């Protein structure tokens, strides 16, 4: 009896979390006259909203931009994070602790303080309306350095010593010896970095004005608040589906890793 109540509570809650997404997909596929219908599936499916959205905004281009930006950042963060993390965990040098404390300190620094000066740097470098503005400031991430440092510390020193005797240099040690033994850390950092950059919207709104360089969240946001959707709900929802779908598809395949990664770091976008 008690169990039944539990399942009832869980199912109602699950419905509350899933229903808006199901409605979004079904409404984006409904004919314009049936979008107001909140409870039933539409009588027929139509791609009208999607076609109309493709005509209004360069969503395909925005998808490519988002892919370029999120992949470059993820790749960069993994590369720089592991190299710096390696130096901090395995190499002896003066100032190592100082650098470590600086990294910890920057993690507690609220972004509100650096937002405007960072924009001014972009203006002075002439990076406004370029990929560089979207990518460069995010190429290094304090959290990922700390995570690599912690993970590398758990790898036995014997492994590194053996590689050194075989004549491995430090770069080869990082990428040939440590990387294959750090898959969980790489997956975690990769997922949270890719997701955060895919969903980032404030920074693109600030540094990108040229529509052909806009990322997906930015383009969809401006479409939602601007007048171009001509208050056609279906068209807006179609754009929202296009923005949500890539991450949802990846999530369906790698749910376990998503949940593990995000709960281990406490990061949301």
Partner 1 sequence: MKNRRVKNKLLPYIFVSPYILHFLLFVAFPVLFSIILTFHKWNIISPMEFTGLNNYVRLFKDTIFLKSISNTLIFLVIHIPLQIIVALFIAEILNQNIKFKGFYRSAFFLPVIVSGVVVTMLWQQLYGFDSGLLNRLLTSVGLPKIGWLIDPAMAMPSIAIMATWKNVGLYIILFLVGLQTVPRHYYEAAELEGANHWQKFFKITLPMINPTIFMVVILSTIGGFSLFIEPYIMTGGGPLNSTISAVLYIYKQGFFYYHMGYATTLGLFFAMLILLVVVTQKKFLEKGE
At residue 218's C-alpha, the angle toward residues 216 and 219, to 5°, is: 65
Q: Which is nearer to partner 1, 68 or 140 (CB)?
A: 140
Which residue in the set 208, 221, 234, 235 belongs to the binding site for partner 1 (CB under 8 A)?
221
Q: CA 182, CA 170: separation in Å to the nearest integer?
A: 16
Residues 111-150 within binding reach of partner 1 (CB under 8 A)? 111-121, 123, 137, 139-140, 145
Is residue 263 near partner 1 by the rule CB under 8 A? yes
Q: Is 195 in the site for partner 1 (CB under 8 A)?
A: yes
Q: How far apart are CA 269 and CA 265, in angstroms?
A: 12
Q: Does 107 bind partner 1 (CB under 8 A)?
A: no
Q: Is 109 in the site for partner 1 (CB under 8 A)?
A: yes
Q: Which is nearer to partner 1, 148 or 186 (CB)?
A: 148
DSSP for 174-237 reads: IIIIIGGG-HHHHHHHHHHHHHHHHH--HHHHHH---GGG--HHHHHHHHHHSSTTTT-HHHHH
Instruction: Show contacts with partner 1 in window 7-26 (CB under 8 A).
Output: 7, 9-10, 13-14, 16-18, 20-21, 23-24
Residue 233 contacts residue 34 (beta carbons within 8 Å): no
Q: Residue 237 Cβ, how far from partner 1 at the closest point, in Å? A: 7
Q: From the CA atom positions of the chain, what is the Rg in Å? A: 23
35: number of CA atoms within 13 Å, CB side?
A: 20
Question: Does 183 contact partner 1 by CB under 8 A?
Answer: no
User: Taking CB under 8 A as the criterion, which residues in 42-101 touch partner 1?
Assistant: 80, 83-84, 86-88, 91-93, 96, 99
257 near partner 1, rule: CB under 8 A: no
């Amino acid at each position: 009896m008690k169990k039944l109540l539990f399942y009832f509570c869980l199912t109602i809650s699950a419905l509350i979390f899933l229903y808006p997404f199901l409605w979004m997909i079904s409404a984006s596929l409904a004919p314009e006259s049936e979008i107001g219908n909140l409870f039933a599936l539409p009588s027929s499916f139509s791609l009208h909203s999607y076609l109309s959205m493709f005509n209004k905004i360069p969503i395909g281009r925005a998808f490519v931009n988002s892919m370029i930006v999120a992949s470059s950042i993820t790749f960069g963060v993994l590369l720089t994070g592991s190299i710096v993390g390696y130096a901090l965990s395995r190499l002896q040098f003066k100032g190592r602790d100082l650098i470590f404390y600086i990294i910890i300190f920057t993690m507690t620094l609220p972004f509100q303080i650096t937002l405007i000066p960072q924009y001014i740097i972009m203006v002075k470098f002439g990076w406004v309306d370029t990929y560089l503005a979207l990518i460069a400031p995010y190429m290094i991430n304090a959290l990922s350095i700390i995570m690599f440092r912690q993970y590398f510390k758990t790898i036995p020193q014997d492994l590194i010593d053996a590689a050194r005797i075989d004549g491995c240099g430090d770069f080869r040690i990082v990428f040939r010896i440590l990387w294959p033994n750090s898959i969980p850390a790489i997956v975690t950092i990769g997922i949270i970095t890719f997701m955060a950059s895919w969903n980032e919207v404030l920074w693109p709104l600030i540094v990108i004005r040229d529509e052909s360089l806009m990322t997906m969240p930015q383009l969809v946001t401006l479409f939602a608040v601007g007048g171009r959707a001509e208050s056609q709900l279906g068209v807006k929802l179609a754009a929202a589906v296009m923005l949500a779908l890539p991450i949802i598809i990846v999530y369906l395949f790698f749910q376990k890793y998503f949940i593990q990664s995000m709960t281990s770091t406490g990061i949301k976008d």
